[in-house]
Structure 1
Amino acid sequence: MARKPRNARRVLVVDDEVDLAELLELTLIKMGLDVDTANGVKEARGMLGSTAYDLVLTDMRMQDGEGLELVQYIQEARLDVPVAVITAYGSTQNAVAALKAGAFDYLAKPVSLEQLRTLVKSALRLDDTEEATPPLPVGDRPLLGDSPAIQQVLELVEKLARSQAPVYITGESGSGKERAARLIHARSNRSAQPFVAVNCGAIPENLMESEFFGYRKGAFTGADQDRDGFFQAATGGTLFLDEVADLPLAMQVKLLRAIQERKVRKVGSTSEDAVDVRLISATHQNLARCVEGGKFRQDLYYRLNVIELKMPPLREMGDDIVLIARHVLARLAQQNGMSMPAFATDALKALRQYGFPGNVRELENTLERALALSDGTTITSDDLQLQPQTFEGDVETGGAGGPLQDYLDRVERNAIADALEKTNGNRTQAAKHLGVTFRSLRYRMDRLGIAGKD
């Protein structure tokens, strides 16, 4: 059956509750939209086959089926229309299932008209953006590579950019989790709005609530004026929670409420403010194991882990390491006002053989050191100062003939450097992050020749 062309923005409301359907219809008409209604899944499928819609709003449970069936039908029929579901209050499982099936967003009953308007504006803006935004050229992508591993990531990123579902990015330290989050934001309808990145492990526990939600003047000593938090700063855009596993349990409760209610309360305030943010979280830890160990709330885990994006380690990206190395070296040379040196054959061999436990971050540090040690025209294997390594499962072992202590020192140095980076060089916070005493960390840093600040 041929589908009728659309002359104006048209929304399909699917609900067998007459009162709710009328409320949604009236609200949407006041927004200047054309609205059609269907009282069940079967009627909605027929209307989708004959009419082009800009948005579908469907209840989750109806007499002749579930809204999830409609979401799946739209995905299978490849209809270019975002669909949002309406779930019973507190029905997290249904909302998560719908988002994983391809729903754009969800609303909880009783439906907030303010949230409805926000969702509709976001959905319709998304449709325009998709038509107007061309694919990013390879040179402008923050994620480089031609290997199947990275291509799979890029394909999923494009799909995630068209959704409002929370994304959970996993991967080893230095594998590009924040880069992936920024690319999702850049390709989404929120790209013109802020991208706010937060390192959850670098915020003192007693400041977390005020940093995330803001505070009112006079809320505590030193609060001499109102201040917005991360949620308010990211309104309309994306909030990226890096190392989310480091959040203390008390803050996890507050974060869960903010996600469920889509409202936050500033410290010292008696009222809540509505916020519209897309959440992306990441950690190098195994969050499921943190849940099993009682360190992370299961309900928050399911809220954040709607769709998982796994970043591949550098050692699984084949010859992409050479492509990335040349790109990084060109940038470093430009920053230093130098011509880009060439890689000697032995240097390329060393790059391919080394396991890079610190991934792209370690590669960047290695190349920066090599650039300083080189003659300015060629990077050799001696300039890289790498030792070949092999990997057995998750256990890294030194290459043949590699002294055990050298290997252990390298692993320890990478772990300390990573912790210092996450805490902006603060040794006290880094020690807490690593689970050692400050004195122990200071001793290890002195032994390994690592600088830091108190």
Structure 2
Amino acid sequence: MGTFLSGREILIVEDEALLRKRLVAFLEKRGAACTGVGTLAEGRNALENLPLDYVLADVNLPDGLGLDLIERAREQGDIPIVIMTADGGVDVAVEAMRRGASDYLSKPFDPQEIPLVLARAETSRRDQRLKTHRKRETDIPSDEQGLFFGDALESFRAQLERVIEADRRLSDKLPPILIEGETGTGKTSVARWLHANGSRHDKELVVVNCAALPEQLAESELFGHEKGAFTDAKQTRIGLFEAADGGTLFLDEIASLSSSLQAKALTAIEEGRIRKVGSSKEVEINVRLIAASNRPLKDLVEKGEFREDLYHRLNLLQFTIPPLRSRGEDTVRMAEHLLEKLSRKYGYSGAAFSKRCLAWIRDYDWPGNVRELEHEIERALILGVPESLEFVSMAPSSIESSHREEEDWLASGWSVPEQGFSLENAIDRLIDLAIEQCGGNVSKAARRLGVQRDYIRYRKSKKG
């Protein structure tokens, strides 16, 4: 409990001088910084001017009721307040909780109860902070337990499981993890899978999209702020690093953070301490950090767009998720996995892809990766025929269909020149023309030509 109270600012409002001194001495031995006062007026003044973490207040004070401090504590940043009472019993306790107190202590009490009560109050405050954060989240939680790896990602999964095994041998100070991969490859899903299967599965997972944080508010959002730290800081607030204490913090698109925030993140990782905006004290944290980027951080370091020291710290356990287009037949297996999950969501049974839709899934490049594939399937389920799914975006002009006659593309009256010509060169010209007309999309060009994507790549490599 000493570590938990270390550096915490605690206000004790108690008119009995001897008890007040005993409580101050007890908490200061455990690392807290305490201020003891004996009146309601002094308590109000301290709440207005001190960067407090907790308040212990007696009910009966010489100039009023300690209950009147509850609302003031909430106005100053939802500071947890514990009411101490010797009179009124249950009725006073109920009234205190109704008005917003975090907890209460009935006199006489053992001072050893205080750290336990404050720990409960801290947990409640973090839960409230996370609830507020989740209301703003646009990310929809993935089915981390049902994450599809397939044959193509078997070695990738084996590496993740080795990390989980190592984590179980550590109680804290878990090393950071870096996940890289194109947009939509499933970095958030992998982070959730790691948390759900790791040693902290029963603790909080806090997901933050760094790219969505306004630059002027990012530091406050991540590290918290004291009242008055800036113009709109009307209350003290804990940040998401502190709210994730004991659990996992996932920073998606970490490269979006400014250089100064990257430096603060590095301190949080290496030293396990953070400092709120406008505060001179440090708060100890124990967070497993998982970071993600859709661009290789090494490349960004070389361009001067990412801190080299933070990159080397994150690069200890680095994983790259391959794009969907490189996973071969696993692309179809992934589609079937997603179809099964979405069919459960919408209550469909017997949903299946049409033959030409399966061919399209195999040949398409999927620039949006798994996210694009999932959206296509969900759209098809809603707008199409579940028993023979076809993607809405599959334009007839871009699909080879065995169910309709092909138009005659050969110019009328054309004949083979008497002097002959190079069929190989003609094939290469047709391929180049198709690629040009498809905006460089090899998969689309292959569909128009009625060949496999690999055939075009073979021809291009042969040509050099």
TM-score by length of 2: 0.52
Matched, 1:347 2:381: no
Query: Which of 177, 181, 184 matches 2:194?
Result: 184
Counterpart of 1:336 in structure 2 is 346
The code of the aligned residue for 2:148 comes to: L
Query: Which of 231, 234, 253 matches 2:263?
Result: 253
SS at match of 2:238: coil
Q: Distance in 2 between matches of 1:399 and 1:189?
A: 55
Query: Which of 199, 212, 217 matches 1:202?
Result: 212
Matched, 1:283 2:293: yes
* Alpha-carbon displacement from aligned partner over 1:387-414 (angstroms, at most 9, x marks no partner): 589xxxxxxx999467335959x9xxxx
Q: Distance in 2 between matches of 1:406 and 1:252?
A: 37
Counterpart of 1:160 in structure 2 is 163
- What pairs with 1:20-59 in structure 2 (closer than 5 Å)? none
Q: Distance in 2 between matches of 1:353 and 1:320?
A: 12
Larger radius of gyration: 2
C-alpha RMSD over aligned residues: 2.8
* Alpha-carbon displacement from aligned partner over 1:124-159 (angstroms, at most 9, x marks no partner): xxxxxxxxxxxxxxx973421331x31111111111
Q: Distance in 2 between matches of 1:376 and 1:355?
A: 24
Q: Distance in 1 between matches of 2:259 and 2:338?
A: 39
Displacement of 1:294:
1.0
Percent identity reads 42
Alpha carbons 1:370, 1:384 under 8 Å: kept: no
Alpha carbons 2:209, 2:252 under 8 Å: kept: yes
Q: Distance in 2 between matches of 1:384 and 1:179?
A: 27
Q: Distance in 2 between matches of 1:305 and 1:255?
A: 14
Query: Which of 146, 149, 153 matches 1:145?
Result: 149
Q: Distance in 2 between matches of 1:168 and 1:288?
A: 12
Q: Distance in 1 between matches of 2:436 and 2:357?
A: 18
Matched, 1:300 2:310: yes
The code of the aligned residue for 2:437 comes to: P
- What pairs with 1:76-225 in structure 2 (closer than 5 Å)? 141-147=145-151, 149-161=152-164, 162-163=166-167, 164-225=174-235
Q: Distance in 1 between matches of 2:386 and 2:296?
A: 42
Displacement of 1:368:
2.0
Alpha carbons 2:250, 2:290 under 8 Å: kept: yes
Distance change >3 Å, CA 225–CA 340, structure 1 → 2:
farther
Q: Distance in 1 between matches of 2:144 and 2:291?
A: 23
Q: Distance in 1 between matches of 2:283 and 2:313?
A: 20
Alpha carbons 1:398, 1:407 under 8 Å: kept: no
Distance change >3 Å, CA 187–CA 350, structure 1 → 2:
same
SS at match of 2:225: coil
Q: Distance in 2 between matches of 1:376 and 1:211?
A: 43
SS at match of 2:178: strand
Alpha carbons 1:201, 1:246 under 8 Å: kept: yes
Q: Distance in 1 between matches of 2:147 and 2:381?
A: 23
